[in-house]
Structure 1
């Protein structure tokens, strides 16, 4: 196991369920994004009582290890319009699926139908907006994409949030891109292990030391340019994303637009059975597969997912900003309420 005790930039001082951390940056109530370049600090551990409170309010911890790689989604090309626009040149996609514990993948994933039986519409829009309005004590942002048409539907706060560890998917994709263009290798030594092992630790276990190593290998300019190439404005020194930008990243990943089939499948496999399964996953009904990456930092609690069943796939991202770790419990319940509402309407 790679140690999580090394120094890292303050926006990376994100506690995992086993090792909650605090950091030097606390602007106002501790929930606002940084406005200047963060320095390098050594995180301080919370007291045992605070850890216990965080675990209780979060609803428990699940730690799992993914075995095997799922079928890779087909490289379907679906362009994304602005959050309130229309899809451009839709193309059917194929979906990878999973149930827990990780089963053997199907020989051939079913195709997503061009005209879904149940789609995102005014009724669901109203339900999501009602949940957001009823919880105005928090900043809540939601983005939802039906991968059969590529339209981004965004609700609530549409400004940038501190992305916390959800941005590790962007970092992983950027490194895989370097591999695919011959500028890096997954077997190259990186820290105490290989680059490939560091990506797995970064995504599946949300390891911050691994994140720092991957970002260092990609470079500040490298990840900014990579993000821009997929339509995302990103500066790793402040780590800010909108829910729509995170949703677009997952859409392009799942539909094979970011990486080759093998690397797509490998990254998605790391997004299953992660070390923190208490947000979106437990609110998903049986039979719906989940690929996700959570984020937890100061007042920011997020989950970003792809939900799949019977050849249909949706990107579902929820970002929340509250006070601090003390209100994780209520925001966990909001994320789960949104998840149950969305899955009941779409599956």
Structure 2
């Protein structure tokens, strides 16, 4: 597990979600479907699940486009976004505080460390403060089945978790901006963020554990935004370089199809 860094080691980026009027979102068409499926089919030795959800104009409640494995994966650290949403919800309902001590630091520090540094000690403290049943119940209120003991999510569920956050329908504007800001300039920008073209903003949370290598992101350009989740599973982490390349390929075809001309 990562140990909590001192408070001075963490700094929030200043970027915030776009407030410009969204341009019409590009259509996820059969050509893009074919390209994503082609990438997945080229690597039968891995389990690969991809979800793509338009979140530009309140469409986050719609059905995600799903490719490859649609069943739950062990979500690894991508589920930390759900825990952060649940804790901020408790703060907004008066059941918790960002200033209350969790471990050696206040809750606000632990939330930032959990997302930006992927600190597992912070994650444990946050989940304990929420309560496992309460976290599961909160996920259920979003239409998501989640058991903290098994930590499993489908790619589509993760896309909806991101989409609801980005839409502002879960948290106050200030808390939404705060949480999204921690999902930038993280301690690992080598997956989805490394494959997007200039001008596309990325808010993401990666996950890496045993055979799991995942990234879950919001891609945003000029108000056009999509949730993109790529979950991959291999026998072990020895295949990380190849699966990193798979995540890059999926990201590139999605960005080329959906953000050209925006």
- What residue ranges of structure 2 are gaps of 5+ in the alignment? none
Larger Rg: 1
Q: 1:210 aligns with which of 85, 100, 122?
A: 122
Query: Matched residues in 1 for 2:15 and 2:83: separation?
Result: 21
Report what 2:253 is aligned to. 341
Report what 1:158 is aligned to. 70
> TM-score w.r.t. structure 1 length?
0.70
- Considering fraction of residues, name the structure with more helix: 2
1:144 and 2:142 matched: no
Q: Give secondary structure in 2 for the equivalent of 1:259.
A: coil
**Residue 253 (structure 1) shift:** 0.2
Change (3 A) 1:66 1:314: farther
1:324 and 2:232 matched: no
Report what 1:282 is aligned to. 194
Change (3 A) 1:319 1:184: same
Query: Matched residues in 1 for 2:199 and 2:218: separation?
Result: 14
1:135 and 2:43 matched: yes
CA-based RMSD:
1.5
Is 1:69–1:265's contact at 8 Å kept on the other side of the alignment? Answer: no
Q: 1:111 aligns with which of 21, 26, 36?
A: 21
Change (3 A) 1:66 1:309: farther
Report what 1:300 is aligned to. 212
**Residue 146 (structure 1) shift:** 1.2
Report what 2:2 is aligned to. 4
Is 1:65–1:273's contact at 8 Å kept on the other side of the alignment? Answer: no
**Residue 315 (structure 1) shift:** 0.5
Query: Matched residues in 1 for 2:104 and 2:127: separation?
Result: 16
Count of paired positions: 251
- What residue ranges of structure 1 are gaps of 5+ in the alignment? 7-63, 72-95, 98-108
Query: Matched residues in 1 for 2:195 and 2:2: separation?
Result: 29
